[in-house]
Amino acid sequence: MDINKVLMEYYPQNYSDKVEKYSEEYGVKESLVYAVIRTESGFRAEVESSVGAMGLMQIMPIVGKQFNVAKEHIVDPETNIRLAGKLLKQIEKILKLSPTTSANDRMSIILACYNGGIGHVTDARRLAKSNGEDPNSWEVVARYLKLKADPEIYQSDLVRHGRFTGSRQTIAYVREVMQRYDHYRLVVDHNEALMAQDASRVMRNLKSLAR
């Protein structure tokens, strides 16, 4: 079986010119952009969620407003990818993660902000730091996101963005995007050594992830 052919079938690279352009402009990995699109919309440019998120990368109108883009233009594929790139770059800038933060932790925390809101993630990091734990570890941050549903926690003076009940969804989202990102690297980066090493694992996960 041609693993590369199978991966391309399950992990398309639609809008590649736009993904390449804005990934380079905003310093976001192409593989990550594809993984977010695959997870958020399945490459359906016109999709709108029940809460109003729009387009390929499910951009909320408030984000469009923040970057001076009218709601009716958000579904445009190029505009949508550009807005997502700007948002991801802005999130990373605001977080001020330690330079020693691992690539996976960095990406996971940024994705959690993209999905669940930077305010809740910042609260979780603040709580972690106050308890002597690493605010740059996704494992630690995820644990404190869960705790933000507990009144004893979210009523703390350290919490500035209130109760968070979406931790399960956000953690699952991060896991799914990161898995797809891992697989997209095999397609986008054409790393033969990595492909040979990870081929069996990729094949085991393809059916569960491609939906």
- Tell me the catalytic residues: 40
The residue written with tokens 């919309």 in the block is 41
Dist CA 151 CA 62 (whole Å): 28
Q: Which residues partner with 54 through β-bridges? A: 48, 59
Between the two ends of the chain, the Cα-to-Cα distance in Å is 21
User: By the 8 A CB rule, do 43 and 56 touch?
Assistant: yes
Dist CA 185 CA 149 (whole Å): 35
Dist CA 140 CA 104 (whole Å): 13
Considering only the C-alpha atoms of the chain, give the largest distance between any 2 of them, rounded to a whole number of Å.
Answer: 57
Dist CA 74 CA 71 (whole Å): 5
Tokens (6 digits) for 79: 């505009």
Helix boundaries (H) for 148-191 = 151-154, 167-188
